[in-house]
């Protein structure tokens, strides 16, 4: 690896992930691997009913079980005097915010809602005791469908939210949009369901809480994507402990996909239980519990329409959506179907009139919140499906109609009709590259020939854009966020020239330890192996906002770059002093400061660091040591874009969809590590293909979760997928120091539309214009017959 | 995933196992554990005791004698899929066993556990039916033999009594001119069969069909034989047309639907996969 590990050339190289040896040999320590002296175990009794009044709870048998330390209910939490709340962190105007308590007080509102907890000496006893708690339920009707939930007479999730409407939100200009439709030559129209998804991070959620009653300090190891947010919410809303007395630590975290952003009751319960019993308390979700409690994703019922003029130019788009919130408002849930959804409705297109209206709806289901892509897959799906439908009704080729309507490369910055200002882009460039790689023109011939033989091939495009790199703090604040979205970094050069980097991000599979070190190696010109990256401990690094929304490179990476630049500036001052030269005469190359033209008389960064720590001979006014902190607040979102193409063959006798090829041309700006970027794209596509062909959370009419295990819920398996083909164009982000965008979610955002467009294309001889996801073989067979 | 408490027995002989079962009415037999352990971890089953028959030597072997193949109840899917004896004498069974689950499952799961569990979506029941297997059973009242067609009673219910253990599966060895195939439409989550078609055909020297069997997993509450459709092929030339014609009117009795696939769609899958299995079996005959 020597060739790829030195200095400036490290940025942009496919250096292997330094995280992997520990992970793949099973040496990494996850929350559930941790053991503390005197540790006990906590389990949560969960409602079997989607909706029920609790008449009473008899825990006497459980309490009498040998090994049980205590059984607690909401009454005990109330009696302890803690706030006990599970808050929502994004406020929309006139939004209904029903109380969400750590355990259900008198009503359960989804199957899985916590009712009581057991603390016991071992896990088996803790689970056995759950069977000995008798809850007197008075079952009520439940509702799971977000559109039906708004109908008069539907069971109410919360009495204070009539018709179960949590919020009524819109963006764009309705009058202008309606006028565009009045003048349309063609209108494409679709009714779609964006299926409900269960996150399925490989590691279930877990917490190990250790409260010290003498110091009043709580140490909480937990599966989190954002330790500081959890610290803040546990302090303010759940337990009332002072923020500085809480230390939240993220050990190795095995994936999240958004599900470990949110503040749930269970981790707070473990912490509260530790305060009660005076011993460390561990709670680890079973896989069943992850299905019943991890915030689900998507779950929209949408009507969308796209208006065109006679030449197939888009003149107006309108979208109406019923978006499930589930039983309570989860941490960032209100933002997902609004500011992360409605704002993306312009897609890659120059659309002069847009209106998007969204009802956020309570249902008797697990809360719905951000799941990989969060709002942007939903937006891309309806836009890209409508564009294909527009191609169908206007008779224009799907590639051509896109080309005809793209925002042109010279139109940036481009102000959309839905708030976002796109900073850069070259959409046709990515489309052309993808069409050439897939052989689009030849494919159409092949498709026609295959149809003659009774074989049904289809091709689907998804020309997507997304807004990520969350986010300018003042902007999200004005939109309702109760959080900032800047990011922090500390770059600390030690006396020996070795470097430790602290980031406020909190990776859980993304490879930050590798990529962030690559940034610093390039910036400081020190060997990659001399740089360590530390994240995920609120007791160690400055406040940060964590890892989600494809933000870590754009915000956390930029913070690191900015801190590294400060280090270089200070080192330059010291080096100039040591070289007895003027600062402006110094060059900095490969980690060495030297006067222009005299590279042999150099002070290396380690030389300067040693002098900075000795502080025997520093320039006047310069403090000792060599480190810098940066808090970086981005100027704008970043806007990755690209073209994804799926090729499918549909089996005429069974309806089975065979994904034959999948090609992605993404533009994520400058690339820190191409291998890691490819990995993100591959994983994202697999997850999006999962949504489009296999995955769906099924609730029955009584709001019981039917797809409650991995026997029922189909996460895609490796053999379902072809080897993906990936390529890139590079349009650097103009407003951050690295020119990077984000790549974590692009695959899940782009791929569902590409796959469904391909299936619909394959079925065009049957007059099919839409099939809801997941596109199962039975749905396809029915459409063909 | 923490099961309730249970007693654990590990007998070393069939007689001992049967006695433990007779003495413990709430006991369950544990073989490979790939069906029982998950439902225990979900606390959907809470047997008072497990009788682990995995170390009983008499249940571990594959043998051939007098034109029949005998497979001990504790032989794993992996052993069946890779056994030269099974591949030669009952290639259908090897093919079906090789499609079960994944590698880990095939190294643990056993033929006896599979057939006794009688999950209609599993892969071996239709093969056992199509091959005319005889199931040898031991109980406290002695030993007996049950034909596969009598063994599967209803959804996860067999002819086994509570104190009986399936000990051996006997299959008549395939004769000359016989071909078989197992074709499966996998449920994307579980990997079980939404529909699995097991076909066996025999042709005479002139290519004419002298015997045919077509059985399905995953369509009804038990594995089922489409006897009428199969008998319609006898005397035919097994051409694609003959196969399509034999299957055109086929309707599996009591087809079941669930949230993954309706009963009607399962019928369609049975026709499509049945035809594919028959064509492949013909080409191998």
The per-residue DSSP string of A2-63 comes to: GGGSSGGGGTT--PPPTTHHHHHTT---BGGG---TT-EEEEEEE-SSSSEEEEEEE-HHHH
Q: Is A131 on the interface with B (CB under 8 A)?
A: yes
Q: How far apart (Å, rounded) are the C-alpha atoms in residues A344 and A319?
A: 12
Task: Report the b/e string of A485-505 with b at 16+ CB within 10 A.
Answer: bbbbbbbbbbeebbbbbbbbb
Question: Distance between alpha carbon A230 and the CA centroid of its chain, in Å?
Answer: 16
Mean pLDDT of chain A: 97
Q: What is the chain A residue with the closest CA to B101?
A: A711
> What's the mean pLDDT in A280-298?
97
| Residue A728 scores a pLDDT above 90 | yes
Q: Give A674-679's long-range contacts (Cβ < 8 A, gap of 24+).
A: A674/A12, A674/A13, A674/A14, A675/A14, A675/A15, A675/A16, A675/A17, A676/A14, A676/A17, A676/A510, A676/A511, A676/A514, A676/A515, A677/A728, A677/A743, A678/A726, A679/A511
Write out the CATH class of domain A37-140+206-255+260-285. Answer: alpha beta
Q: How far apart (Å, rounded) are the C-alpha atoms in residues A114 and A43?
A: 10
What confidence score (pLDDT) does residue A8 get?
Answer: 64
| Residue A3 scores a pLDDT above 50 | no
What confidence score (pLDDT) does residue B277 get?
Answer: 98
Detail the DSSP E strand segments found in A494-557. Answer: 499-503, 531-534
Q: How far apart (Å, rounded) are the C-alpha atoms in residues A462 and A385?
A: 9
| Residue A751 scores a pLDDT above 70 | yes
Query: What percentage of residues in chain A have a pLDDT greater than 90?
Result: 99
What confidence score (pLDDT) does residue A2 get?
Answer: 37
**Do A37-140+206-255+260-285 and A375-469+636-784 agree at the fold level?**
no
| Residue A557 scores a pLDDT above 50 | yes
Q: What tokens were used for A359?
A: 């009802």
Kindly tell me the sign of the dihedral angle through the C-alpha atoms of B77, B78, B83, B88.
Answer: positive
Residue A687: half-sphere exposure toward Cβ, Cα within 13 Å: 27
Give the best residue of B1, B2, B196, B257 to mutate against chain A (max A CB count within 10 A).
B2
- Domains of chain B by start residue, with CATH: 7-52 (3.30.43.10), 57-172 (3.30.465.10), 178-284 (3.30.390.50)
Give pLDDT tens digits for A342-358. Answer: 999 999 999 999 999 99
| Residue A465 scores a pLDDT above 60 | yes
Give pLDDT tens digits for A394-442. Answer: 999 999 999 999 999 999 999 999 999 999 999 999 999 999 999 999 9
Give pLDDT tens digits for A142-181. Answer: 999 999 999 999 999 999 999 999 999 999 999 999 999 9
Q: How far apart (Å, rounded) are the C-alpha atoms in residues B132 and B270?
A: 20
Mean pLDDT of chain B: 96
Topology of the domain comprising A2-28+486-632:
Aldehyde Oxidoreductase; domain 4 (3.30.365)
Q: How far apart (Å, rounded) are the C-alpha atoms in residues B65 and B36?
A: 33
What confidence score (pLDDT) does residue B127 get?
Answer: 98
> So what's the ipTM on this one?
0.95
What confidence score (pLDDT) does residue A6 get?
Answer: 58
DSSP string, A454-510: T-EEEEEEEEEE--BS---HHHHHHTTBSS---EEEEEEE-TTS-EEEEES---SSS
| Residue B167 scores a pLDDT above 70 | yes
Kindly report the length of chain A. Answer: 785
Write out the CATH class of domain A375-469+636-784. Answer: alpha beta
Give the best residue of A282, A653, A698 to mutate against chain B (max B CB count within 10 A).
A653
Confidence of residue A456 (pLDDT cuts 50, 70, 90): very high
- Cβ under 8 Å to B: A residues 106-125: 123-124
Beta-carbon contacts below 8 Å between A and B:
59
Non-local (6+) Cβ contacts of B187 within 8 A are: A714, B121, B193, B194, B260
Q: What tokens were used for A755?
A: 């796959």
Phi, psi torsion values for A187, nearest 5 degrees: -130, 130
> What's the mean pLDDT in B44-58?
96
CA distances to A222, A262, A268, A540, B225 from A271, rounded to whole Å, are 10, 16, 5, 20, 58
Beta B49-52 vs A592-595: how paired, if at all? unpaired
Give pLDDT tens digits for A309-321. Answer: 999 999 999 999 9
CB A610 within 8 A of CB A543: no
Where are the domains positioned within chain A? 2-28+486-632, 37-140+206-255+260-285, 375-469+636-784
> Could B5 and A124 be called an inter-chain contact, meaning their C-beta atoms sit closer than 8 Å?
yes
| Residue A5 scores a pLDDT above 70 | no
Burial of residue B56, with CB atoms counted within 10 A of its CB: 0-12 exposed, 13-18 middle, 19 or more buried = buried
| Residue B1 scores a pLDDT above 80 | no
| A404 backbone φψ class: left, alpha, beta (φ>0; ψ -120 to 50) | alpha
The closest CB to that of A654, out of B43, B185, B190, belongs to B185
Beta B209-217 vs B193-203: how paired, if at all? antiparallel
Beta A165-172 vs A354-362: how paired, if at all? antiparallel
Q: How far apart (Å, rounded) are the C-alpha atoms in residues A365 and A389?
A: 32
Q: Is A779 on the interface with B (CB under 8 A)?
A: no
| Residue A1 scores a pLDDT above 70 | no
What confidence score (pLDDT) does residue A4 get?
Answer: 45
What confidence score (pLDDT) does residue A7 get?
Answer: 65
> What's the mean pLDDT in A6-21?
89
CA-nearest of A92, A219, A222 to A166 is A92
């Amino acid at each position: 690896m020597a060739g790829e590990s030195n200095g400036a050339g490290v940025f942009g190289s496919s250096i292997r992930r330094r995280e992997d040896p520990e992970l793949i040999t099973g040496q990494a320590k996850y929350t559930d691997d941790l053991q503390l002296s005197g540790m006990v175990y906590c389990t949560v009794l969960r409602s079997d009913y989607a909706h029920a009044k609790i008449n009473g709870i008899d825990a006497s048998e459980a309490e009498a079980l040998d090994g049980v330390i205590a059984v607690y209910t909401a009454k005990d939490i109330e009696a302890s005097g803690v706030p006990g709340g599970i808050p929502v962190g994004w406020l929309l105007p006139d939004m209904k915010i029903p109380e969400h308590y750590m355990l259900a007080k008198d009503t359960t509102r989804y199957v899985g809602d916590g009712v009581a907890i057991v603390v016991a000496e071992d896990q088996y006893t803790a689970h056995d005791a759950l069977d000995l708690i008798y809850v007197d339920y008075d079952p009520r009707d439940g509702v799971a469908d977000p559109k039906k939930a708004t109908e008069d007479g539907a069971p109410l999730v919360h009495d204070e939210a009539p018709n179960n409407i949590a919020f009524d939100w819109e963006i764009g200009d309705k009058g202008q949009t309606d006028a565009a439709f009045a003048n349309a030559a063609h209108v494409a129209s679709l009714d779609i369901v964006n299926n409900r998804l269960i996150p399925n991070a490989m590691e279930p959620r877990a917490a190990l809480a250790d409260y010290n009653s003498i110091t009043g300090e709580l140490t909480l190891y937990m599966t989190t994507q954002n330790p500081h947010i959890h610290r803040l919410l546990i302090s303010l809303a759940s337990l009332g402990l002072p923020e500085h007395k809480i230390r939240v630590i993220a050990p190795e975290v095995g994936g999240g996909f958004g599900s470990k952003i949110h503040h749930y009751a269970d981790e707070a319960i473990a912490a509260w239980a530790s305060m009660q019993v005076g011993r460390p308390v561990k709670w680890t979700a079973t896989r069943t519990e992850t299905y019943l409690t991890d915030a689900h994703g998507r779950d929209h019922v949408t009507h969308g329409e796209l208006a065109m003029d006679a030449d197939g130019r888009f003149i107006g788009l309108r979208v109406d959506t019923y978006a499930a919130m589930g039983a309570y408002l989860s941490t960032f849930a209100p933002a997902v179907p609004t500011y992360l959804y409605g704002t993306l409705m312009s897609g890659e297109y120059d659309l002069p009139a847009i209106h998007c209206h969204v009802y956020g709806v309570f249902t008797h289901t697990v809360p719905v919140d951000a799941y990989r892509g969060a709002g942007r897959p939903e937006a891309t799906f309806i836009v890209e499906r409508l564009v294909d439908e527009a191609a169908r009704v206007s008779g224009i080729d799907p590639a051509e109609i896109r080309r005809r309507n793209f925002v042109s490369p010279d139109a940036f910055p481009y102000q959309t009709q839905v708030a976002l200002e796109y900073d850069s882009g070259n959409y046709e460039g990515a489309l052309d590259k993808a069409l050439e790689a897939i052989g689009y023109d030849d494919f159409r011939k092949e498709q026609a020939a295959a149809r003659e033989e009774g074989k049904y091939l289809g091709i689907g495009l998804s020309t997507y854009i997304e807004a990520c790199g969350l986010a300018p703090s003042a902007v999200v604040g004005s939109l309702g966020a109760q959080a900032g979205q800047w990011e922090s970094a500390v770059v600390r050069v030690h006396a020996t020239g070795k470097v430790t980097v602290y980031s406020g991000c909190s990776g859980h599979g993304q490879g930050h330890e590798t990529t962030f070190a690559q940034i610093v190696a390039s910036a400081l010109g020190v060997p990659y192996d001399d740089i360590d990256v530390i994240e995920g401990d609120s007791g160690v690094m400055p406040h940060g906002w964590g890892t989600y929304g494809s933000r870590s490179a754009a915000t956390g990476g930029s913070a690191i770059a900015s801190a590294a630049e400060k280090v270089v500036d200070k080192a330059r001052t010291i080096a100039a002093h040591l070289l007895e030269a003027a600062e402006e005469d110094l060059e900095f190359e490969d980690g060495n400061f030297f006067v222009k033209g005299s590279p042999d008389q150099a002070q290396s960064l380690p030389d300067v660091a040693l002098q900075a720590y000795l502080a025997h001979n520093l320039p006047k006014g310069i403090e000792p040591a060599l480190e810098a902190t940066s808090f970086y607040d981005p100027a704008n979102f970043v806007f990755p874009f690209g073209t994804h193409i799926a090729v499918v063959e549909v089996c005429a006798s069974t309806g089975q969809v065979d994904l034959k090829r999948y090609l992605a041309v993404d533009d994520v700006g400058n690339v820190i590590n191409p291998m890691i970027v490819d990995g993100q794209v591959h994983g994202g596509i697999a997850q999006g293909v999962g949504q489009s062909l296999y995955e769906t959370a099924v609730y029955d009419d009584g709001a019981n979760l039917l797809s409650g295990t991995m026997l029922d819920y189909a996460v895609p398996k490796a053999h379902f997928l072809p080897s993906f083909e990936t390529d890139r164009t590079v349009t650097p982000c103009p407003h951050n120091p690295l020119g990077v965008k984000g790549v974590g979610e692009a695959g899940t955002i782009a791929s569902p539309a590409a796959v469904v467009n391909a299936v619909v294309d394959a079925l065009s001889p049957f007059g099919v214009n839409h099939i809801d996801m997941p596109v199962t073989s039975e749905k396809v067979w029915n459409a063909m017959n | 995933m923490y099961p309730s408490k249970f007693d654990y027995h590990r007998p070393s002989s069939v007689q001992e196992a049967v006695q433990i079962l007779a003495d413990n009415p709430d006991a369950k037999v544990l073989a490979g554990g790939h069906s029982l352990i998950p439902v225990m971890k979900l606390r959907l089953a809470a047997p008072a005791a497990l009788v682990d028959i995995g170390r009983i030597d008499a249940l571990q072997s594959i043998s051939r004698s007098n034109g029949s193949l005998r497979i001990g109840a504790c032989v794993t899917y992996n052993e069946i899929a890779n056994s030269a004896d099974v591949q030669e004498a009952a290639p259908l069974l090897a093919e079906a066993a090789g499609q079960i689950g994944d590698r880990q499952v095939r190294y643990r799961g056993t033929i006896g556990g599979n057939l006794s569990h009688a999950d209609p979506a599993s892969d071996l029941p239709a093969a056992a039916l199509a091959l005319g297997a005889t199931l040898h059973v031991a109980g406290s009242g002695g030993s007996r033999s049950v034909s596969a067609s009598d063994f599967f009673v209803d959804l996860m219910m067999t002819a086994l009594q509570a104190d009986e253990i399936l000990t051996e599966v006997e299959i008549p060895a395939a004769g000359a001119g016989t071909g078989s195939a197992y074709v499966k439409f996998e449920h994307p989550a579980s990997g079980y069969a939404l529909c699995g078609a097991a076909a066996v055909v025999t042709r005479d020297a002139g290519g004419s069909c002298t015997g045919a069997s077509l059985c399905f997993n995953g369509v009804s509450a038990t594995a089922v034989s489409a006897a009428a459709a199969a008998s319609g092929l006898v005397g035919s030339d097994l051409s694609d047309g003959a196969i399509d014609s034999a299957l055109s009117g086929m309707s599996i009795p009591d087809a079941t639907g669930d949230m993954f696939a309706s009963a009607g769609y399962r019928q369609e899958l049975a026709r499509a996969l049945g035809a594919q299995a028959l064509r492949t079996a013909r080409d191998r005959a």
